[in-house]
Chain A
Amino acid sequence: NAGVTQTPKFRILKIGQSMTLQCTQDMNHNYMYWYRQDPGMGLKLIYYSVGAGITDKGEVPNGYNVSRSTTEDFPLRLELAAPSQTSVYFCASSFVGDNQPQHFGDGTRLSIL
C-alpha cells in the first residue's frame, strides 16, 4: 500500500516554464488537497477536491490549476512559473465519513530560477 505518491521529488524550472506536479493515492480517498509550504512557514491550501470532477480553490490558488478526472489522481499545474512559486508542495488525501486525518505525500521541492 503506497499511500500518497508525489512525483517528481525535486524540480528546477525557469521563469515562464510550465509543469505538472503529479499526485496519486491508492487508498480510495474521496478528498484530495494541494498545499504549499514556504520556508519557515506552515502549509497553505492551494486547491482541494471532494471527489472526481469536483475541485475548489483554497487560500492561495493564483497561478495554479488542478483537475480530478479520477479518484486516484489529482495533478497540480503551474502554467507560467514565477519565483514566488518556489516552495515545497504537498499533496494529501483523506476519507470522508470517519474523521480520519489527512495522509500526506513526501512533498515536491520546486525551485523557480
Chain B
Amino acid sequence: AQKVTQAQTEISVVEKEDVTLDCVYETRDTTYYLFWYKQPPSGELVFLIRRNSFDEQNEISGRYSWNFQKSTSSFNFTITASQVVDSAVYFCALSEADSSGSARQLTFGSGTQLTVLP
C-alpha cells in the first residue's frame, strides 16, 4: 500500500524567509510519480510539479525548488524568499504507474498549511 506523510501540519514564517515543506512516501513500486499541489484559500488545486522515480535531479522553478531523494524516500519542497501570496495548503502526492508507465490515481498526504506573515 502506498502512503504519503507530511508531518508538518502548520508552518508560519515571516515574509522573505525561506521555508521547506517535508514529504516522505512509502511504496513498493519501482516506477512511481511524485507531485506537489497547492490549494489556496479559494479551494482549487494547483499543480506545481511532477517527478518520476527515475529522475532524481533537483528542480528549480523561480522561487520554488524540489529535492527528491530515493534513499530517504523524500520529496521536499522549498520556497525561497516567501511571499504572502504563498499562503496556502500544500499537498504532496504519490501515484503508481500502470502497465504503460503512466501515472494513475493519486495518494495524497494530509497537507501542510503554510502561513506567510507580512
> Contact residues of A with B, CB < 8 Å?
31, 33, 35, 40-45, 48, 58, 88, 90, 94, 96-104, 106-107, 109
Q: How far in angstroms is the closest Cβ of chain A from B53? A: 11
Interface size on B, residues (CB 8 A): 26
A90, B109: Cα distance in complex, Å:
16
> Contact residues of B with A, CB < 8 Å?
4, 6, 33, 35, 37, 43-45, 47, 50, 52, 91, 93, 98, 100-111
For the complex, would chain B's binding face be called helix, strand, loop or mixed by DSSP majority? Answer: strand
Q: Is the CB of B105 within 8 A of A104?
A: no
Q: Is the CB of B111 within 8 A of A41?
A: yes
Q: Is the CB of B108 within 8 A of A104?
A: no
16 A–B contact pairs at CB < 8 A?
A33-B106, A40-B110, A41-B111, A42-B4, A42-B111, A43-B106, A48-B104, A48-B105, A94-B102, A94-B103, A97-B102, A99-B102, A99-B103, A100-B103, A104-B37, A107-B44
